[in-house]
Each structure stands twice: as C-alpha cells, then as structure tokens.
Amino acid sequence: MTSPIFVALDTPDLDRAKAIATSVKGHVGGIKLGLEFFSANGRAGVREMAALGLPIFLDLKLHDIPNTVAKAVQALRPLKPAILTIHAAGGRAMMEDAKAAAPEGTKVIAVTVLTSLDGTDLESIGLDANPHAQVERLTLLARQAGLDGVVCSGNEVKAARKLWPKGFFVVPGVRPADGSTGDQKRVVTPRAALDAGASILVIGRPITQATNPGVAARAIEATL
C-alpha cells in the first residue's frame, strides 16, 4: 500500500525541496507544495518537483469569487496535481466552479478550519467558537458542492467522516508523540489521525527539519 504520508515542503528553496523529496521518496506517498514554495518557484518549480516521480499535493488554499477561483484552477490544469486545496469558506458556488475547472484525476479538497485556529480565534472573526461545529458545517457544504473531500484537524476527522463516509480526508497538524507542536494548536499523532479516519497525513517539520529526513519519515511510517 502507498504510504498515507505527504511531506510538507514549506520552503522557497527549490534545491532544498528536491533534496528532501529525494531523501524521503521511498517512505512517503507524495509531497505537499504550499504558498511559500509556489510564490518563490511558480509552475516551473512544481514541474521540477513532479519530475521526481511523487504525487503532488498543491496546497494553495484558493479563496476568492467563484469566477476568479475557477480561472486560477484552469491556469493550474497543465500541472495535473493529485490534490488541490480551496477554502470551504468561499461558499458553495466557488467550490462547485473550482471542481468543474479542475483536471480529471485531481482531487479538489476544501479547507474547513485551519489547524492554527482555536475557539478564541474563531470568535474573534465572528464565527461559532466551537471549531468542531464549524468543521461539520463546512464538510457538509463541501459534500453538497461535489468536492472530493476536506482538510480538517485530527480532532474533527472522525465526526467529518461520519457525515461523509466516502469522503477524502486530509489531516494536517500531525506530530509524532515526541514532536514539537510549532504554530499548530490542534494536533494529533499520525496513528491516532489514521484511526480516526484520515485518508492522508500531512507532516512537515518532524521530517523536513530532521538531520536525516529519510530516516525520520521511515520512523513515522513504522508507527502506522
């Protein structure tokens, strides 16, 4: 079985991203490239990473009016990413248009509540202070919009899967039991996230900041 681990290469440095991807290649299911990487290296950088032979998760969290998001997704079509993220908070029409514009074979996944936010943060922007309720609401909306799945924390993935048994669930903020939480507020261990219903696990610093990323990835894979 392919590993459920996608390593988050959150770096603007193309050579460093390539070196880490090469090191972990045998122990992960793919690589996640986010805004930091994309802003520095663009589509050409994504193509260079794709040439290494690992599936690409393009984590751009698009969020704008439906027409703009659809056109942005169309501009990304030649890259044929395995997974592409948009924000569920953009609403149903935006999600529907993004999915319609995506290439066949690309999973379009909606971000529900960022794992860096907790109840106090949600309240400060006028939302229900319970992240759980907000994740459930947006999971149902993403399902109605015809998306493939959602991004949610390991704390909410069990409830989200109950609402959407055939959905695809991406869980970030995954940290080994002995790992530092960094700027994440809602974290879980890799094993706990999988047991709760995660389809893939996004793991960054515990692998990318290790002395030997390949060894770190293999150690995490062994816990699964």
pLDDT tens per residue, range 96-138 = 999 999 999 999 999 998 878 888 998 999 988 888 899 999 9
Which residues constitute the domain of residue 88? 5-222
Domain count, the chain: 1
The pLDDT, as a whole number, for residue 180 is 55
Task: With residue 68 as reference, give the H or E element that holds it.
Answer: helix 66-76
Does the pLDDT at position 71 exceed 60?
A: yes
pLDDT tens per residue, range 150-162 = 999 888 999 999 9
The pLDDT, as a whole number, for residue 61 is 97
Question: For residue 149, which phi and psi values (nearest 5 degrees)?
Answer: 175, -165
The pLDDT, as a whole number, for residue 117 is 85
pTM exceeds 0.85: yes
The residues that are catalytic are 61
The pLDDT, as a whole number, for residue 184 is 53
Give the mean pLDDT of 206-213. 94
DSSP letter assigned to residue 174: B
* Complete DSSP assignment for 93-152: HHHHHHHHHSPTTPEEEEE-S-TT--HHHHHHTTS-S-HHHHHHHHHHHHHHTT-SEEE-
What CATH number has the domain bearing residue 189?
3.20.20.70
Measure the CA–CA gap between 83 and 59, rounded to whole angstroms.
Answer: 8
pLDDT tens per residue, range 153-201 = 888 999 999 999 999 999 998 888 765 555 555 578 899 999 999 999 9
